[in-house]
Structure 1
Amino acid sequence: MTQAPDLGFVHRYIPAADPSRPPLLLLHGTGADENDLIPLGEMLAPGAAILSPRGRVSEEGLNRFFRRHEEGVWDLPDFETRTNELAGFLARARAVYHLAPPVVLGFSNGANIGWSLMRRDPDQLAGALLMRAMLPFDPRPLPDLTGFPVLLLSGKDDPLVPSDQPSYFAALLGEAGADVTLEMVPAGHTLTQQDLIFAFNWLERYFPAQA
């Protein structure tokens, strides 16, 4: 692990062992930190560089990437502000660590700020793997996402995400031109082995290691 410089976010950076793979930008869920998703990232994309920041918002001591008023009700001005802050961090980190556009891999709260980064500036990213993302407001207008690969992994029985949101979100991304894949997993808000299989296969399809 490389000692992380101060780029505005507490974070971890792991250099690539396989430079042929795009970097991963790991965005954790509520209550986790910069270490939480690293084992998952290393399993799904062995050898890829990893950039993993810690959310800067505290909700009763739990790390998050943006504020909310209650479950499912976001503080939208803060959501936009925090998206811009994270985008600035990503730009600085890419310059310091000499990183290509990463694939954002986010879970729950991290998936939500991840799709907001994608909406803000898709050219800064290579793709998006969004696990248990939520869409509590209309995000349009969306940028031109032509050919931009997105995987949505949603739980059929997720108590936090209304059942109609994943298909609606996938449709909006498709209208914007994204190459979107939606997988509805027989699960709730937690991840399952099926999620990992879908995620691994999607990464191998769109971002395979080069021999």
Structure 2
Amino acid sequence: MTPVVTTDALDLHRHRVAPATDATRPPLLLLHGTGGDEHDLIELGHAVAPGAALLSVRGNVREGDAPRFFRRLAEGVLDQDDVRRRAADLAAFVAAARERYGLAAPTALGFSNGANMAAALLALHPGTLAGAVLLRPMVPLDPWPTTVPRPVDAARPGTPVLIVSGTDDPLMRPGEAERLAVLLRQDGAAVAHHTVRAGHGLTGDDVAIATAWLARRPFVS
């Protein structure tokens, strides 16, 4: 599905941009968890990819006072129509932001709700992301799309994806991260899945794994 890019697409999301200081690093698209904002993952982005340009986005859905990237009907029950609509909005925003700020296709760094949105982008809008680091994700789409048109220049078989799940995460169903890895591999992604001794919150192990994985990713302009 090709996102609709308009002149006001940048207004779809409040965002923050940190310019690159290392031109060899691909840019990161930072997608926070529930209750975060566009400032939330800046420090993490600098830690895992020193010198990379950062495009950090605030979700424009509210759950009480907590920003999110899409609605949910209950804990672990996602509004499927809203996931698809918000993914299209974010894909259009990324296209507009790339043009405005002169960015290459970004690698997403998403936590929890932000990781779920990044996974939805990979499935619904191939070519928007050059790769993704998914920290504590779940499967965001049910059913998983199987007939999404994939332009030849955007299909990119082997899109690199890192999933990091926690052994004691109370918010994840057993096998959820493994199921997501299988679905992404079926779409042609090159998925690495790591499990850390942690709950839903991030740890130093998450930072170390993401840093090492991103350091091995080549820059694609």
Tell me the CA shift for residue 134 of structure 1: 0.7
- The 10-residue stretch of structure 1 (172-181 or 102-111) with the greater mean CA deviation from structure 2: 172-181
2:164 aligned with 1:159: no
2:151 aligned with 1:140: no
- How far apart, CA to CA, are the structure 1 residues paired with 2:10 and 2:129? 22
Q: Which has the higher contact order (CA 8 A, sep 6+)?
A: 2
Identity among equivalent pairs (%): 49
Q: Which residue among 129, 132, 141 is the counterpart of 2:133?
A: 129
TM-score with structure 2 length normalisation? Answer: 0.88
- How far apart, CA to CA, are the structure 2 residues paired with 1:126 and 1:79? 20
State the partner residue of 2:193: 182
- The 10-residue stretch of structure 1 (144-153 or 74-83) with the greater mean CA deviation from structure 2: 144-153
**Deviation readout 1:45-73 (Å, 9 max, x if unpaired):** 11111101110011011000000111001
State the partner residue of 1:43: 47
Q: How many residues align?
A: 204
Give the 3-state SS of the residue equivalent to 2:192 in structure 1: strand
**Deviation readout 1:163-188 (Å, 9 max, x if unpaired):** 21111111222222211000011111
- The 10-residue stretch of structure 1 (86-95 or 199-208) with the greater mean CA deviation from structure 2: 199-208
Give the 3-state SS of the residue equivalent to 1:122 in structure 2: coil
Structure 1: where are the runs of 5+ without partners?
none
Tell me the CA shift for residue 6 of structure 1: 5.2
Give the 3-state SS of the residue equivalent to 1:36 in structure 2: coil
- How far apart, CA to CA, are the structure 2 residues paired with 1:17 and 1:7? 26
State the partner residue of 1:88: 92
Indicate if the aligned counterparts of 1:156 and 1:163 stay in contact, CA closer than 8 A.
Answer: no
Tell me the CA shift for residue 138 of structure 1: 3.3
State the partner residue of 2:208: 197
The list of structure 1 runs, each at least 4 consecutive aligned residues, that deviate by more than 4 angstroms after superposition, is 142-145
TM-score with structure 1 length normalisation? Answer: 0.92
Alignment-mate amino acid for residue 204 of structure 2: Q
Give the 3-state SS of the residue equivalent to 2:25 in structure 1: coil
- The 10-residue stretch of structure 1 (155-164 or 36-45) with the greater mean CA deviation from structure 2: 155-164
Tell me the CA shift for residue 108 of structure 1: 0.3
Compute the RMSD of aligned alpha carbons: 1.6
Alignment-mate amino acid for residue 185 of structure 1: V
State the partner residue of 1:168: 179
